Amino acid sequence: RGTSAATFPALLLGPPTATSALVVLGRAEVRWAQGIAVVALGGIAAGWIWVARQLLTPGRFGAVFKSAESTDVKRTKKKSHHADDGCWRGFTTWLGSRGDWRDHRAHPGFITRHALLFADYRGDVRFARHFLLFEVAVSYILVLLVALSTAGFGSKGNCAALAYVTLFVLLGHTVAVFRVAPFASGFLFLINALFSLGQLASGVLGVLGQLTDHEGTIATLNAASIAIAYGILLVSLALAAWDVYQFVRTVVPRAVAGVKRIVAYGGDGHDDDAASPVNETFTALLNGDGGDPAPLLIPPSQEASS
């Protein structure tokens, strides 16, 4: 519902759509095709500008982050089979949630509408709540670099320059991940840090591929870069499948409860004191009862050489 329903499609389809549109602008000779590309780019830009306003404007952002380290400890003790092992308990506590987001009293329903814009991030660290915008910016910088490499920048010198810029961008992302540590749980930080390091390694391979003309070495570097990309993809799919399972496990019982309310009370299915099943669901997910959401990924970098 609201922004939450459009977040995943925007993150998944936006970068490849922008890449295609930029390539069309650079290479197509048909005016109507270029017009469609301009409209697509304008729509993507307008959408993310709107998101930025929601996250950056104090009067518009209607959620409050409640840090709950003591809750993490209690939750870890309850779930862990090694509650007496101090090292294990400390590690599982670190992996757990740093707190939860709640609606501001002046903005009821804000989490239901916009949770996926900030649910992966914590709100008690500077810049953490806005980290999605940084990751989106990095994604579209990489999109621009891919489009440039495709649309006529194919010479050896240009490919080398693009490889160095790509490496610099990926290095900046990795530094930001470790410096800000913006994620709402240690688990999300661990996964995103590994992904960012993997992408940085791919960027290093890309630069190394520009420093040699030996075909065998280039092929090996390309294969290693592709292996990293596939590894990130497979882990992401596994995490996404787990999140779907957790979400269904949370939603189905609440949907059944809603049907029972309809049968019991008639009308809209709940009495005056009953809570909204939708808000209950998002509250459960954000509190960690439905599992950590899948980490946000930046599209893998270019292959090791153009």
pLDDT of residue 58: 72
What's the pLDDT tens digit per position in 83-98?
445 566 665 666 667 7
Element (H, E) at 41: helix 31-56
301: closest CA among 188, 186, 157, 174? 174
Q: Where are the domains of the chain?
A: 3-286
Strand partners for 66: 100
Is pLDDT of 172 > 90? yes
207: nearest Cα among 218, 193, 197, 215 = 218
- Sign of the CA dihedral with 176 first, then 180, 185, and 186 last: positive
The helix/strand/coil state of 259 is helix
Question: One-letter amino acid identity for 44?
Answer: I
Round to whole Å and give the CA distance between 224 and 227.
5
Any idea which residue has 């809750």 for tokens? 71
- Please tell me the distance from the alpha carbon of residue 49 to that of residue 58, in angstroms, as a whole number: 15
Q: Name the token pair of 115.
A: 């949770």
Residue type for position 122: R
Per-residue pLDDT of 111-164, as tens digits, reads 777 777 887 888 877 788 888 889 999 999 999 888 887 766 655 557 788 889
Contact criterion met (CB below 8 Å) for 163 and 75: no
To 5 degrees, how large is the angle CA 172–CA 178–CA 181?
120
CB 3 within 8 A of CB 54: yes
Average pLDDT of the chain is 75
Reported confidence tier of residue 184, pLDDT bands at 50, 70, 90: confident
Location of structure tokens 């998944």: 12
pLDDT band at 302 (very low <50, low <70, confident <90, very high): very low
pLDDT above 80 (res 204): yes
Higher confidence at residue 278 or residue 25? 25
Looking only at Cα atoms, what is the longest distance across the chain?
Answer: 75
**Which residues have C-beta within 8 Å of that of residue 129, sequence separation ≥ 6?**
55, 61, 65, 118, 121, 122, 123, 182
Contact (CB, 8 A) for 298 and 138: yes
What pLDDT is recorded for position 240? 77
Contact 155, 181 (CB under 8 A): no
Q: Which is higher by pLDDT, 242 or 266?
A: 242
Selected residue with higher pLDDT from 268 and 219? 219
CA distance 137 to 175: 15
